[in-house]
Amino acid sequence: MMEYIIIGLLVIVIILLIVLLCKKTNNNDLTERLGHFEANINKEIGDFKYNFTKELLADFEKLNERIEKKLSLISDVVNERLDKNFDKSNKTFMSVLERLTKIDEAQKKIDSLSSEIVSLQSVLTDKKTRGTFGEVNLEYILNNAFGSKTSGIYETQHKFSNGYIVDCLLYAPSPLGTIAIDSKFPLENYQKMTDKTKTKEERIMAEKLFVNDVKKHILDISEKYIIPGETTEEAIMFLPAEAIFAEINAYHPELLQFAYNKKVWITGPTTLISTLSIISMIIKNMERDKYAKVIHEELNKLSIEFTRYKERWDKLSRSVKSVNQSIEDLHTTSEKIQKRFESINGVEIAKISNQERIDN
C-alpha cells in the first residue's frame, strides 16, 4: 500500500515538473510532448489502478481469511465454554432439584411428625394414658442404667405390705437402702398456665391448681411409699416431662421445700439418669471391692503354694545337680577306659607286625 502511495506522489511531482518545463518550450512541441506524456501517464495510471486493485483484493482476501479463522477459533472457544457452563448449570440444576426433593421429603416428615405430636397430645389428655407413658419412660431409663429386671437391682410394679403398688422399687446399696420411685405427670393445669391464648386470670388460676396437683402427688408418695422397715426414709417422684421439672425448679421453690420436708426427691428424665448412674457406679465399685477381697485371699493361698513349689524345686535342682556331677564323673571314667583299650590294641598290632618280620 505504501509503495503505491509513493508512486502516486512521484507521478504528481513529475507532472508538475513537466508543466514547468512546458512553459519554456513552444506550444506545438509542448502539445506533442504532452500527448505522449499523457498517454504514458494514462497507461501508468491504468497499470497502477489495476495492480492496486489486484493487490488490494488480495490483501482483503487474506484479511478476510484471517478474520474467518479468528472468528472460527472464537466460535470454538465460545462453544466449548458454553458447553462447560451448560454442564455446570445442568449439574447445579440437578443438585438443586435433588435438594428440593430432600426438602420436600423433610417437609413431609415434619408434617407427619406434627400430626404425631398432635396425636400424642390428644393421647396424653387421658390420665391413665399419661400414667402408662410415665411408667414406660421410667422403665426405659432403669433399663439403660442397670440392664433388664433380671439383674435384681430393681423391681417394677412392686406391691407393699400396705397394699399400694409403686412403679419401681430400687434395691440400692447402703446407706441408701431400698428406694421407691413413682412416676407422676401433672399435665392439664401446666398446659393451661403456659397457654398464651388464655387470659392472665385463667393462667394464674391454672398455676395455683398446678401447684396443688404437685403437692398432692408429693403427699401421696410420702404417705404410700415411705414405709419403715420396708423402704428407706426417702422416695423419688419422677416427672417424665423435662419442661414440668424445669418449671418447678425455676419458678416454684416452695414446692421444692415442701418435697424436702416430706423427704421426696423430685427428678426429671435427666436428673433421674444422673442419679441412677451414680447408684450404678456405687454398686459396681462395691462388687469390685468384694471380688478384690476374694482375689487377695486367693493370691495369698497361691503365694503359699508357690513357696512350697520353690522349696521342692530347689531340692530337685540339688538332686539333679548331684546326678549331673555323677554323670560327668562316669563320663570321665569311660573315656579313660576307652583310651586304655585303644592303647592295648595298638600294642598287640605292633607286636604282630614285628613277629612277621622276624619269621620272614
> Given this model, what pLDDT does residue 122 score?
47
Distance between CA atoms of residues 249 and 257, nearest Å: 11
Q: Are 224 and 164 in contact (CB under 8 A)?
A: yes
Domains of the chain: 128-285 (3.40.1350)
Of how many residues is the chain composed?
360
Sheet holding 178-183, edge to edge: 154-159, 165-171, 178-183, 235-238, 264-267
Distance of CA 131 to the CA centre of its chain: 38
8 Å CB contact between 210 and 193:
yes
* SS3 label, residue 169: strand
- Distance (Å, whole) CA 144 – CA 283: 15
Tens digits of pLDDT across the chain (360 residues) = 555 566 666 666 666 666 565 555 545 555 566 566 566 666 666 666 667 677 767 776 777 788 778 777 877 777 777 777 767 777 776 777 777 777 767 666 665 544 444 344 444 556 677 778 888 888 888 888 887 776 778 888 999 989 999 999 998 877 778 999 999 988 888 888 888 888 989 999 999 999 999 999 999 999 999 998 889 999 999 999 888 899 999 999 999 999 999 999 999 998 888 888 888 887 777 777 666 666 767 777 777 776 776 777 777 677 767 766 767 776 677 777 777 767 766 655 555 555 555 555
* Letter string b/e over residues 164-178, b meaning 16 or more CB atoms within 10 A of that residue's CB: bebbbbbbbeeeeeb
Grouping H, G, I as helix, E, B as strand and the rest as coil, residue 230 is coil
d(CA 302, CA 304): 5
Nearest CA among 246, 241, 135 for reference residue 181: 135
pLDDT the model gives residue 215: 94
CA–CA separation, 318 and 312 (whole Å): 10
CA distance 253 to 266: 12
Q: Angle at Cα 271 formed by Cα 286 and Cα 238, nearest 5°?
A: 100
pLDDT for the residue 165: 92
| Closest listed residue to residue 170, CA positions, set 279, 273, 274, 265 | 279
Helix (H, G, I), strand (E, B) or coil at 195: coil
Owner of C-alpha cell 472464537: 74
Tell me whether residue 313 is exposed, middle or buried, using C-beta atoms within 10 angstroms of its C-beta: 0 to 12, 13 to 18, 19 or more: exposed
Instruction: State the DSSP code for 125.
Output: T
**Distance (Å, whole) CA 290 – CA 49:** 123
| pLDDT recorded at residue 182 | 93
Dmax (CA) of the chain? 175
- For residue 227, what is its C-alpha cell? 414405709
- β-partners of residue 183 are 238
